Amino acid sequence: MAGYVVRRLFGMIPMLFAITVFVFFMMHMAPGNAIEAMINPRIKDIAALKHQLEVQNGLNLPLPVQYWRWLVNVLHGNFGWSFGQHEPVIELLGPAMYNTLILAVLAEAFILLLGIPIGIWQARRPYSKLDYTVSTVSFVLFSVPFFVFAVFLIYFFAIRWPVFPAQNATGTGPLAGTLLDHVWHALLPAISIALTAHTVYSRYTRGAMLDVARQDYVRTARAKGIREPVIYRKHVFRNARIPLVTQLGFDLGGLLGGAVITEGLFSYQGMGYVTITAVSQRDYPVIMATTLIFAVCVLLGNLVADILNAVVDPRIRYQ
Amino acid sequence: MSEAVLSVRNLRTYFMYKDAEVHAVDGVDLDVRAGEIVCLVGESGCGKSMTSLSIMRLVPQPAGRIVSGKILLDGVDLLRLSEDEMTDVRGNQISMIFQEPMTALNPVLTVGDQITEVLLRHRRMRKREAWQRAVEMLEFVGVARAAQIVHEYPHQLSGGMRQRVMIAMAMVCEPKLLIADEPTTALDVTIQAQVLDLMRKMRDDFGTALILITHDLGVVAEMADRVVVMYAGQVVESTDADTLFEEPSHPYTRGLLRSIPSLSDDTETLYSIPGTVPDAAAFPEGCRFADRCPLAQPECLATAPVLREVRPGHWVRCHFADKGSVSV
């Protein structure tokens, strides 16, 4: 298993290289550049200033050279300076990653805690009126654009009854900066993500449970006199969770990259928020760093999915 | 018939679909005495599996329903028990093993977990005791390295091994009755004989009665004390094994026996009963075998024969069973 993980980690390197190359050239092909986004267009002799700044930042060099410089720096642990925020990229992204981690874990927890029990509950009474009702509600929740929930949640729980903060990832006061304070700020965005995303899990869970419930070994369990709740908890769910665990790995990778729109709506300073700001300012070093981190998260998520699969399914063993 | 462990009386199991009502089991009577091996024979779709699932009260829901009848286990009517009481019976007083050992065991639970589960459910036993008993039981059914095998998963075992595990699991509470639904069909011929031997050993050592469902008359000849032949949801002939092979009285039984390939025979083609089983959603008024029967008379199409005792212990559902043996 350890050997397998190491091999997979090494296998990621060419993938990450390809992704960064692609993003780097795509980014520079977009119109405008960081300097234009930075300087005031009413300044006199704008062309000279622009040229001076470009030379300062190495933006006048050929793109392959620029990429090579970036790559060498990154391999030395230097992600460069943010053009937009005027601070090292690392210092900008550190807090953002922490905020996004809290939001991702919280959102995924809500998604699982809502989605899986609902799915199991439906699978125990398939094709009944209650089952159809819950399915319909799920489809509606899934179809509503998810930012709608964010807007409603902000309106009701942050403005009408100001229980929760409407924006920012941390607050002021004695608790500022503590884990509790972070969780408190992440609560509304997490709920707004989970309200939509949990339906994916309730559908998956219901389907997987019903699939497994038809299997011969479930009939065997019944023939042994095992009671229904135990049959569902032990014999059915332990098989039904195998495809869910795969989905979980993929999800975590995606969520850790930042929930762009949700973070934007809540002005929650996570990875998504930082990325959007950086893109609008053509802040190349930040864009490259967030892309790299996002790619790593997705690839690690896939690896975690494969590892979790082996944990819950004894038929899967990695050499 | 007084010492019958199991008495099934006039059992009817129907499947209700939107446009049809399928009479899978249509008035079956069946008696199994303690320590007896009864073979239930018939072609696919004749209702033998549904009869056994009805006895377990495991008919596929919601389409399937036991409509009427009695299933007496030591005098207790299983059809009158609540679902909860029935779970106390299953795996404890009646056990069942199935045709496909490859899919009948849960792939994510260890062999030991699946065996001890039965003991922990039906016996007051500590976990350690139950695991000990599981190992003993595996050794008893001839699994080598039993102490290791309990910790392994089904995919690590061969088909024959898995069927042994199934038998160990079914027998661990020493039930009064074991129902085996084509337990050897999916196995290699050499393994088949071993598994049949094992089931006979179970009967001898535990006194468990055995209902063996099969369409293999070779298995019947080797195992059966008594044979019950089913056709189109009904019992058509019921007698001891010797009589069945020497004096089969129902034309369907005779047809079945004629379909066995014989080494001494010179015929090029194998005999087969003409026609097919009638649709269980629309059985004919008269005898259900009439349109395939070489002896059918106008009477057969008009009135359905009843199951009659033509000789002591020999029951046949045919108008002409005792009117001289007409050769087919």
Contact across the interface for A225 and B105, Cβ inside 8 Å? no
Contact across the interface for A223 and B95, Cβ inside 8 Å? yes
Q: Give the model's pLDDT for residue B1.
A: 43
Contact across the interface for B106 and A239, Cβ inside 8 Å? yes
Q: Which residues of A lie closer than 8 Å to B, measured between beta carbons?
A: 215-217, 219-227, 234-235, 238-239, 242, 312-315
Instruction: Establish if B257 belongs to a structural domain.
Output: no
Give chain A positions within 8 Å (CB) of B100.
216
Contact across the interface for A225 and B166, Cβ inside 8 Å? no
Q: Give the model's pLDDT for residue A84.
A: 81
Please report the DSSP string for A11-76 in residue order. Answer: HHHHHHHHHHHHHHHHHHHSSS-HHHHHS-TTSTTHHHHHHHHHHHTTTTS-HHHHHHHHHHHHHT
d(CA A61, CA B44) in angstroms, rounded, equals 80
B316 and A CB contact within 8 Å = no
Contact across the interface for B90 and A216, Cβ inside 8 Å? no
- Residue A293 CA to its chain's centroid (Å): 11
Question: Of A216, A222, A224, which has the smallest distance from its Cβ to B117's Cβ?
Answer: A224
**Residue B59 belongs to domain spanning:** 4-93+175-230
- Sequential pLDDT tens for chain A (319 residues): 888 999 999 999 999 999 999 999 988 888 777 777 777 777 777 788 888 888 888 888 889 999 999 999 999 988 988 888 888 999 999 999 999 999 999 999 999 999 999 999 999 999 999 999 999 999 999 999 878 899 999 999 988 888 888 788 777 777 777 888 889 999 999 999 999 999 999 999 999 999 999 999 999 999 999 999 999 999 999 999 999 998 898 888 888 877 888 888 898 999 999 998 898 888 889 999 999 999 999 999 999 999 999 999 999 988 7
Contact across the interface for B121 and A226, Cβ inside 8 Å? yes
Edge-first strand listing for the sheet containing B76-77: B21-33, B4-16, B64-73, B76-77
Instruction: Establish if B36 belongs to a structural domain.
Output: yes
Instruction: Establish if B264 belongs to a structural domain.
Output: no
Q: SS3 for A301?
A: helix
Q: Give the model's pLDDT for residue B187.
A: 86
d(CA A283, CA A86) in angstroms, rounded, equals 10
B132 and A CB contact within 8 Å = no
The one-letter amino acid code at B167 reads I
d(CA A173, CA B166) in angstroms, rounded, equals 65
Which residue intervals of chain B are DSSP H helices?
A: 48-55, 83-89, 111-122, 127-140, 146-149, 159-171, 189-206, 217-223, 241-246, 251-258, 298-302
Q: Give the model's pLDDT for residue B186.
A: 83
B91 and A CB contact within 8 Å = yes
Which residue intervals of chain A are DSSP H helices?
A: 2-29, 34-38, 46-56, 63-75, 89-124, 129-143, 146-154, 179-213, 216-223, 228-230, 237-256, 260-265, 271-280, 284-312
A202 exposure class (CB count in 10 Å sphere: 0-12, 13-18, 19+):
buried
Among candidates A261, A241, A221, A258, which has minimal Cα distance to A311?
A: A241
Contact across the interface for B103 and A215, Cβ inside 8 Å? yes
Q: Is B321 within 8 Å of B287 (Cβ atoms)?
A: no
Tell me how close the Cα of A227 comes to any Cα of chain B, in angstroms: 7
Contact across the interface for B104 and A224, Cβ inside 8 Å? no
What phi, psi does A9 have (nearest 5°)?
-65, -45
d(CA A228, CA A49) in angstroms, rounded, equals 76
Nearest Cα residue in chain B from A237: B108
Among candidates B4, B148, B9, B12, which has minimal Cα distance to B67?
A: B12
Class for the domain spanning A89-312: mainly alpha
Contact across the interface for B108 and A227, Cβ inside 8 Å? no
Question: Of A222, A238, A313, which has the smallest distance from its Cβ to B58's Cβ?
Answer: A222
Q: SS3 for B157?
A: coil
Q: Give the model's pLDDT for residue A55.
A: 84
- The neighbour count for residue B323, using CB atoms within 10 Å, is 10
Contact across the interface for A225 and B153, Cβ inside 8 Å? no
The structure tokens 């639904």 sit at: B181
Question: Of A222, A223, A315, which has the smallest distance from its Cβ to B107's Cβ?
Answer: A315
Tell me how close the Cα of A220 comes to any Cα of chain B, in angstroms: 6
Tell me how close the Cα of B64 comes to any Cα of chain A, in angstroms: 15
Q: How far is CA A98 from CA A16, A95, A177, in A?
A: 22, 5, 11
d(CA A157, CA A166) in angstroms, rounded, equals 8
Q: Give the model's pLDDT for residue B265.
A: 65
Tell me how close the Cα of A142 comes to any Cα of chain B, in angstroms: 30
Structural domain tally of chain B? 1
Tell me how close the Cα of A140 comes to any Cα of chain B, in angstroms: 29
Contact across the interface for B100 and A216, Cβ inside 8 Å? yes
Edge-first strand listing for the sheet containing B234-240: B94-97, B177-181, B209-214, B37-41, B226-231, B234-240, B314-316, B308-311
Show which of residues 52-71 on chain B sit within 8 Å of chain A, judged by CB atoms: 56, 58
Length of chain A, in residues: 319
Instruction: Establish if B169 belongs to a structural domain.
Output: no
Using 70 as the pLDDT threshold, list the residues of chain B that sit under it.
1-2, 265-268, 323-328
The one-letter amino acid code at B25 reads V
Q: SS3 for B207?
A: coil
Dig out the tokens for B187 from the structure.
Answer: 């196995």
Q: Give the model's pLDDT for residue A38.
A: 73
Give chain B positions within 8 Å (CB) of A124.
none
* Interface residue of B54, B73, B108, B116 to substitute, partner A, most A CBs within 10 Å: B108
Whether omega for the bond prior to residue B101 falls within 30 degrees of 0, making it cis, is no
| Domain extent listing, chain A | 2-75, 89-312
d(CA B49, CA B55) in angstroms, rounded, equals 10
Give chain B positions within 8 Å (CB) of A308.
none
Give chain B positions within 8 Å (CB) of A315.
107, 153, 155
Q: How many helices (H) and strands (E) does chain B have?
A: 11, 12
Contact across the interface for A239 and B100, Cβ inside 8 Å? no
